[in-house]
A and B are shown apart, each in its own frame.
Chain A
């Protein structure tokens, strides 16, 4: 049974459920912050912000990967295949990267003052 792109987006939206709208608001706020930062035409403290955001993203990724089996009422003992471990790593990486991206603009704002 094939899923097309729109179908996958629809499933993703349903998966997020009530979280979708706060998440969208957060993304829009982040984009607003980025626009504000860039419009100031002052040097950005990219390095300083990245040095904060990357470790946070890594910690979140590890925490999410560690919590994923328990989140499904399961445990690491139930993982049986390479695919299972890839799913855990992929899930952690995905959430870690998204966290880093969302965190970057406010950190950048704080560091660039």
Chain B
């Protein structure tokens, strides 16, 4: 047998040439197969003429649309949302702290929605599950056989007197939630605070919020910015939480323990326990807290204000809301099947649903396949058996360049996707994932690929 020749031997490449050509052909076939697998419909799409309405074109709504479009043959899928822009919300923390530019988190829904999906650019103003229909803000009724609610949540700025979202960025007011523009305005307010120093107030609101790690991330990244800017000594930092010192400021117990020690001892935050923000005097830069001892006024130079959150008002006014269950203020669903407990043809996905944990994009990634599988089962008149286990994830960014990859589920135990990433250690790799990898995973999720 002829031996493959090495460099300077140059005696003729027959075997190497054949092997190389075989290898190249194999690589081409593999690449082609991968491409075909990414673009092919499932082997057997389920045939139906059902009318499916998806409310909301955020992460959950778009992911549902792309998956259902591929899984069903003949369905009439309608998605209802007036928004043309699609915000990559997991990136808002990085915009608000100056690590990313605003444009990096702004995309277009049209890039992801399948052509077969009918996009109604209106907002749902009324749910009528008894009659299987929704009414839009332009007065149009949309009838459905199956409804998927993926509206996201509403920020209740009005719950805090004097908190005007239009003034974010002015007079030391920041808010990471809401829009990319307001996140960018928050970055400017933080930059001004880093220049001047003074008192920085960081707020955790009561109740369920999306990306529950964000208030901590903004606090810790601002502290890091102060150190980077050489002004840490000129700043006093307070973290105000409605929870008592014996309570939980983070759902996952290990992270809760970590944060309760790390913030005051390693980062120098004064922990203001049982302080619930109730009002702001924007001009005077004064925050008013409800405490067990009564109201307390605190002056600030910068405040990161986080409003309470809930399901959108029109959903709360409907029979789809959790009126008498464990999660008032949110949509009622079975926490495992994501199916509405009273309306068997209605499912909920994403921030809007009432579950113990799970208002993150990572939760959406876990919930969407469950909701789709269960919807397909119900369409076949079978029992929905897919179950959402409560998976959620938070790359808890502690500094620019470091973070902890926190993943857990309803059991509140850590459930790391990658065994080699220690969920109890600050490392650069979680930061690398947050900064460079997770946005790609998010886009793949929108396309229904993961």
Besides A68-B432, A71-B436, 16 more A-B contacts (Cβ < 8 Å) are: A2-B417, A3-B450, A10-B447, A14-B443, A15-B440, A35-B24, A43-B13, A45-B10, A46-B13, A47-B7, A47-B10, A72-B428, A74-B431, A74-B435, A81-B425, A81-B428
Is the C-beta of B28 less than 8 angstroms from some C-beta in chain A?
Answer: yes
Can you sample 24 A-B contacts with CB below 8 Å? Answer: A6-B38, A7-B444, A7-B449, A7-B450, A10-B449, A10-B450, A11-B449, A14-B440, A14-B443, A17-B440, A31-B28, A43-B13, A44-B13, A46-B9, A47-B10, A72-B435, A72-B436, A73-B400, A73-B435, A78-B402, A78-B431, A79-B427, A80-B428, A81-B422
The size bracket of the interface on A is 35 or more
Interface 0/1 of B382-412, CB less than 8 Å to A: 0000000001010000011110000100000
Name A12's closest neighbour in chain B (CB-CB).
B440
Interface 0/1 of A31-52, CB less than 8 Å to B: 1001100100001111110110
Q: Flag if A87 contacts B38 (CB, 8 Å).
A: no
Residues of B within 8 A of A69 (CB): 401, 428
Is the C-beta of B298 less than 8 angstroms from some C-beta in chain A?
Answer: no
A-B contact count (CB 8 A): 128
Segment 50-84 of A: residues with Cβ below 8 Å from B: 50-51, 68-69, 71-75, 77-81, 83-84
Name B27's closest neighbour in chain A (CB-CB).
A31
Whole-angstrom distance between the Cβ of A83 and the nearest chain B Cβ: 5
Residues of B within 8 A of A17 (CB): 440
Point out residues on B near A: beta carbons under 8 Å: 5-13, 17, 20-21, 24, 28, 34, 37-38, 99, 362, 365-366, 391, 393, 399-402, 407, 415, 417, 420-422, 425-429, 431-432, 435-437, 439-441, 443-444, 447, 449-450
Is the C-beta of A1 less than 8 angstroms from some C-beta in chain B?
Answer: yes
The prevalent SS among residues of A at the interface is helix
Which of A11, A79, A81 has its CB near the most chain B CB atoms (within 10 A)?
A11
Whole-angstrom distance between the Cβ of B405 and the nearest chain A Cβ: 11
- Contact pick for B393, options A1, A2, A51, A77, CB 8 Å: A1
Whole-angstrom distance between the Cβ of B96 and the nearest chain A Cβ: 15
Residues of A within 8 A of B435 (CB): 72-74
Which of A2, A14, A35, A71 has its CB near the most chain B CB atoms (within 10 A)?
A14
Interchain CA distance A36-B427 in the complex, whole Å: 47
Whole-angstrom distance between the Cβ of B426 and the nearest chain A Cβ: 6
